[in-house]
């Protein structure tokens, strides 16, 4: 019996959760088998970070496989890896479930609420690649813990200033080409984890939000903002394109004209403007923001958890397939933009101006 498409997709998700590096030889096999399902030029998963010659050799080898056979081989191989990983982890349960070492993401769970805090105040809570991984692991854990609500917020003056430019630009001011694929893949995987998250997801926007910190808000169930918060998506200025399904969610939330002003023209919205356009659920005075929001959320967290979960599924289930399709399409465009001369020049110019401040 051949593996189904769903079996194949489940196996691909299991690869992301492997606790040990399977080694380059296994990665090559996995890459060749996954490549039969799609064009070779798609962004490769982070674990498949081997040299170009090896990648091209695996691409030639995949021509020998029929798609169905490759799919079954992939599922079988991942199954064996998962079993080995679980066996090696016995007796050390939970040891590698620690969310972070860097403390750039701080996670607490109390009163039915899992709180995820961007914690790089000196960097305006900009998101590093490591933080991407930490957030995804935290969401995975929160999806099965005893909490009712999962909340994102920031430490200090900013909620989050989006992606850290150091993800792509080296200390010498050059674009790190090897990191471009990683940025694309991580973004797609992060967005998928938000799309699939089964519980209530709330943003407590304590200050300015920029880039992906804004576009992700279209996937939240509620967004509460301080009146000092602002919302800015400067994609065009950086030669980039929208992500986090915002090319679909923003026009749906605020209408095409307002979404264009924000996503294409880079218009920065105040908290009140974001509320008027439907991106924000409610705005609170800065002086009472924390007290009012957390009092409300603690009350919401006492609601029957299963009823909340089922109701969210009813609201979102017809959108999930569309959102995943949009995420995939946006990722393809992001990959193209990141390799374009226009985007490269814009990023370097921005980094140069920032360094002079």
C-alpha span between 106 and 36 (Å, rounded) = 40
Checking 27-31 for CB contacts under 8 A at 24+ apart, the result is 28/54, 28/57, 28/58, 29/58, 29/77, 30/74, 30/77, 30/78, 31/55, 31/58
Give the pLDDT score at 166.
82
* φ/ψ bin of 209: left (φ > 0), alpha (ψ from -120 to 50), beta (otherwise): beta
Residue 348: exposure state from Cβ atoms within 10 A (0-12, 13-18, ≥19): middle
Question: What are 250's two structure tokens?
Answer: 């923003």
Strands 113-118 and 149-154: parallel
Average pLDDT over residues 9-13: 65
Residue 44: pLDDT above 50? Answer: no
Domains and CATH numbers, the chain: 5-89 (1.20.80.10), 98-350 (3.90.226.10)
Q: What is the pLDDT of residues 310-347, one digit of tens each?
A: 999 999 999 999 999 999 999 999 999 988 999 988 88
Task: Measure the CA dihedral 164/165/167/172, to 10°.
Answer: -140
Q: What percent of the chain has pLDDT over 90?
A: 61
Q: What is the pLDDT of residues 226-257, one digit of tens each?
A: 999 999 999 999 999 999 999 999 999 999 99
Give the pLDDT score at 133.
95
Give the pLDDT score at 136.
97
Residue 184: pLDDT above 80? Answer: yes
Give the pLDDT score at 88.
42
Give the pLDDT score at 231.
98
Average pLDDT over residues 159-185: 82
Strands of the chain (E only): list them: 105-110, 113-118, 149-154, 200-205, 209-210, 222-226, 230-232, 269-270, 282-284
Give the pLDDT score at 68.
58
Residue 175: pLDDT above 90? Answer: no
Average pLDDT over residues 164-179: 74
Q: What is the pLDDT of residues 289-318, one digit of tens each?
A: 999 999 999 999 999 999 999 999 999 999
Give the pLDDT score at 179.
82
Residue 69: pLDDT above 70? Answer: no
Cα dihedral across residues 339, 343, 349, 351: positive or negative: negative
C-alpha span between 120 and 176 (Å, rounded) = 22
For residues 147 and 293, the answer to whether their CB atoms sit within 8 Å is no
69 or 163: whose pLDDT is higher? 163
Average pLDDT over residues 155-161: 97
Q: What is the average pLDDT value for the chain, to the nearest integer?
A: 82
Residue 357: pLDDT above 60? Answer: no
- Any idea what DSSP says for residue 236? G
Q: What percent of the chain has pLDDT over 70?
A: 68
Residue 97: pLDDT above 60? Answer: no
């Amino acid at each position: 019996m051949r593996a189904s498409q769903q079996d194949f997709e489940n196996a691909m998700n299991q690869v992301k959760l492997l606790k040990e590096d399977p080694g380059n030889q296994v990665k090559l096999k996995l890459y060749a088998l996954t490549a039969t399902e799609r064009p070779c030029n798609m962004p490769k998963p982070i674990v498949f970070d081997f040299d170009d010659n090896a990648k091209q050799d695996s691409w030639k080898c995949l021509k020998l496989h029929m798609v169905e056979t490759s799919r079954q081989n992939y599922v079988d191989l991942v199954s064996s890896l998962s079993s080995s990983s679980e066996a090696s982890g016995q007796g050390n349960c939970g040891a590698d479930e620690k969310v972070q070492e860097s403390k750039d993401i701080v996670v607490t769970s109390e009163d039915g609420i899992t709180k995820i805090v961007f914690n790089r105040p000196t960097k305006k809570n900009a998101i590093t690649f490591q933080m991407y991984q930490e957030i995804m692991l935290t969401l995975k854990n929160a999806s099965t813990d005893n909490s009712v609500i999962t909340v994102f917020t920031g430490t200090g003056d900013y909620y989050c200033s989006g992606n850290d430019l150091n993800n792509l630009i080296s200390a010498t001011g050059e674009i790190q080409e090897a990191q471009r694929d990683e940025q694309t893949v991580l973004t797609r995987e992060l967005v998928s984890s938000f799309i699939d998250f089964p519980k209530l997801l709330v943003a407590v926007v304590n200050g300015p939000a920029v880039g992906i910190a804004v576009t992700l808000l279209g996937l939240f169930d509620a967004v509460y903002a301080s009146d000092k918060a602002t919302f800015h998506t400067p994609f065009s200025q950086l030669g980039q394109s929208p992500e986090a399904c915002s090319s679909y969610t923003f026009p749906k939330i605020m209408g095409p004209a307002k979404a264009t002003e924000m996503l294409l023209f880079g218009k920065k919205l105040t908290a009140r403007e974001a509320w008027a356009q439907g991106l924000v659920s409610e705005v609170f005075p800065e002086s009472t923001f924390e007290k009012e929001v957390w009092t409300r959320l603690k009350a919401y967290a006492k609601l029957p958890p299963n009823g909340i979960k089922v109701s969210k599924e009813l609201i979102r289930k017809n959108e999930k397939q569309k959102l995943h399709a949009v995420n995939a399409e946006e990722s393809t465009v992001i990959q193209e933009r990141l390799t374009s001369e226009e985007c490269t020049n814009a990023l370097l110019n921005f980094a140069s101006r920032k360094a002079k401040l």
